[in-house]
Structure 1
C-alpha cells in the first residue's frame, strides 16, 4: 500500500477554480501548469508517485510543490512571489508620462524631427525616464510604447488633416453659395431661362510646363507601360482662370503666365462678351485679393449691375463646383504631361477644354441641399 501523505491538500472553491484555470491554460508557463495539476491531484487524493508519473516529474519535485502550498499557499506553490494584483512594472503614472511625451512634438523637446516614430519615441523615453522618476521604462521596447499608446488610440507618427473655420460668417456664406446652387437646380428643372447666368470661377496657378530630356518609349509586348527617362527640364508655369457655366456645364478658360487683377478683369470681359447684354451674371468665387482689388472694383463700375459676386467662406473653396472640373483636369489632362514649351502647354489646356465643351457635363451639388429653400 502506498504511504499516505502526512497532511492532506484541501482547496476551497475559489482556489480550485483558479488552479483549474491555470492547469488548462495554453499560454501560461509550463511549470505553473504542472504545479497546478500537482495540487489538484493531491487534493483529489492521488499519491506522490501517481502525481509524479502523471506530470512527468520526480517524486521530490511533487513533494516540494506540496510543501510550498502548506507554507505559502497556492501562489507560493505556483512560483509567484505575491498574490494577483501586484503593481505592474510600468505603472499608470509611467504610462501617463509616456502619453504626454507622445502628445508633444519632438521639436518642442529640442529634437530636429517634426513627428515621432515608435523607435524615436522609445529612444527618448528610455533616455529621459530616470530623470522623470520612471526607472521601469529604462528598457522599454518600441512595441511596448506602441501598446501603451494604442490603449488610448494615440498614434503620433500618423497625420490627418482638418479644416479650421476661420470665417465667423462661414455658415451664412455657405448658405449664400448653396442658394445659388438651388437656383441653378430650379432653372435646370424648369427648362427655361431666368435671365441670370450662373458661373463657378476659380484659378489654378502654377501649372508646370515640363519637358522630357529623352523621348518616351511606347508600350510593347513584354513591356506594357510607357517608359520615361527620369530626368526632365522645367520650362516655367502658367495659370488657368476658368469659369464653369453651372446650367450648361461649359467651361470658359483663360490661360496666362500670372493670375493678377488684370488677368481676372480680362476673364470677366470674356464672360461679358459671351452672354446676352441683358443677362445678370452671378459668379461663385473665393476671396483671392484679385477679386476685390481696386482695379477689379473699378472695372465693375464700368458695367453696373452686370456681375454679382457670391464669395465662398475663407478656407471654404471646396464649396465651389468648379473644383470638380479642376480635379478632372488634373487627372485626365495634366497627369504626367510633357511639353516642349509653355506655349504647347497652353495650347493643350485649351484643346482639352474644347473637348470637354463638346460633351459638357453638368455638375450637381448635393451636400446640405435639402436644407435650402427658395
Structure 2
C-alpha cells in the first residue's frame, strides 16, 4: 500500500480503536446486484451450458439470470470469462516426452561451448495465391477487403534454421519436400557454419529427418548432433515461432501470381530479418514446463473426462 494509506488507517485506529477499521458509509447508490447473484452467474458460466447451445451468450445468460446483457458483460469482463472463445490443445503421447523436454530446454538454457544450436524445420506447401479480384485498400472506418476465392499458382517449401544465440536464419527453398531436399539443406548448413564448431540441431520427428540416407550423412559428419522434440510438441521448437512471424507479416495476406514471385518475397523478407536478427528469450525451465503440464493433466482428470 501507499504510505499515506497506511497512515490514514493507523490514525483512525488510534482515534477510535477497532471501530476505526470499519468502512464508513460510502456516497452514491448502493449496489443493486449482490455478491450472491454475481457468484451464481460466474458458477453457471463455468459449470453449465445452455439447453440449446454449446456455450453461453450474453443474451442467453441474461435470460437465465434476469440481469441485463450489459451487466452480464461487465461480470464476465471482471472475471476474465470469454464463453464465445475456444482454443485448441494437444497433449503429447511421446513415451520419451520428459527426456526430450529436458534435452531441448537444456540446450536453450545451457548451450554447449564451441558449438552452435540451430532450430530447424520445414514450412511445406506454401501456396502462391492470387485473389480472383483486386484487393480493396483500407479506408478510414473500413478494413482492407479481399475476395474469399483465389487462384492457386503453385507451391514451394521453405527449409530454415533459427540460431538461438543471435536469431540469424539459414534458409533454402525447394519445390519438393523429401529426404533428398533435407540432405541438401544439411550440406548448406555444413558449409555455412564455421568448421571448428559443433552443430546441434533441434528438429521434429518428421520421417525425412530419420531416413537411412540422412543417418548415413550424419554418420559421416560427426560434428552434427540431432535433438528431437517430443511428438506433437512443435511449440518447443523456436523456428516455429519464427515461421509465425513470416506467415503473419508476408505470406498470409500476400498476393502472388507465380511461385517465383512468392519465393522472391520470402527471400527478401528473410534477408531483411537477417540484417537485424532478434533471438527469442526462452524463460521456462524443463521443471516448470513439466509442472505446468502436470497441473493441466490434473484439471482434466478432476473434470471427470
Q: TM-score, normalised by structure 2?
A: 0.64
Q: Is the 8 A contact 1:239 1:259 kept in 2?
A: yes
Q: Which residue of 2 aligns with 1:309?
A: 226
Give the whole-Å Cα distance in 2 for the aligned partners of 1:309 and 1:207.
Answer: 26
Equivalent residue in structure 1 for 2:257, among 336, 340, 349: 340
Give the whole-Å Cα distance in 2 for the aligned partners of 1:366 and 1:157.
Answer: 31
Aligned pairs (5 A) from 1:277-292 = 277-292=195-210
Aligned pairs (5 A) from 1:52-63 = none
Give the number of equivalent residue pairs: 223
- Cα 1:163–1:231 change in 2 (3 A) is closer
- Cα 1:286–1:158 change in 2 (3 A) is same
Q: Which residue of 2 aligns with 1:324?
A: 241
Q: Which residue of 1 aligns with 2:89?
A: 162
Equivalent residue in structure 1 for 2:156, among 215, 230, 238: 238
Q: Which runs of 5+ in 2 are unaligned?
A: 1-46, 55-59, 66-82, 290-305
Q: Is the 8 A contact 2:156 2:263 kept in 1?
A: yes
Q: Which residue of 2 aligns with 1:351?
A: 268
Deviation at 1:228, TM superposition (A): 3.2
Aligned pairs (5 A) from 1:203-214 = 203-214=122-133
Q: Is the 8 A contact 2:102 2:286 kept in 1?
A: no
Q: Which residue of 2 aligns with 1:42?
A: none
Give the whole-Å Cα distance in 2 for the aligned partners of 1:353 and 1:315.
Answer: 27
Q: Is the 8 A contact 2:155 2:259 kept in 1?
A: yes
Equivalent residue in structure 2 for 1:174, among 101, 119, 129: 101
| CA displacement, residues 324-343 of structure 1 (integer Å, 9 cap, x when unaligned) | 21111111111211101011
Aligned pairs (5 A) from 1:233-272 = 233-272=151-190
Deviation at 1:237, TM superposition (A): 2.2
Deviation at 1:227, TM superposition (A): 4.3
| CA displacement, residues 149-201 of structure 1 (integer Å, 9 cap, x when unaligned) | xxxxxxx99855332231122111100001111224xx8xxxxxx32111011
Q: Which runs of 5+ in 1 are unaligned?
A: 1-98, 103-115, 122-141, 148-155, 188-193
RMSD of Structure 2 on Structure 1 (CA): 3.3
| CA displacement, residues 77-126 of structure 1 (integer Å, 9 cap, x when unaligned) | xxxxxxxxxxxxxxxxxxxxxx9xx9xxxxxxxxxxxxx984279xxxxx
| CA displacement, residues 15-62 of structure 1 (integer Å, 9 cap, x when unaligned) | xxxxxxxxxxxxxxxxxxxxxxxxxxxxxxxxxxxxxxxxxxxxxxxx
Q: TM-score, normalised by structure 1?
A: 0.53
- Cα 1:225–1:268 change in 2 (3 A) is same
**Which secondary structure state, in structure 2, belongs to the residue aligned with residue 356 of structure 1?**
helix
Equivalent residue in structure 2 for 1:364, among 259, 281, 286: 281
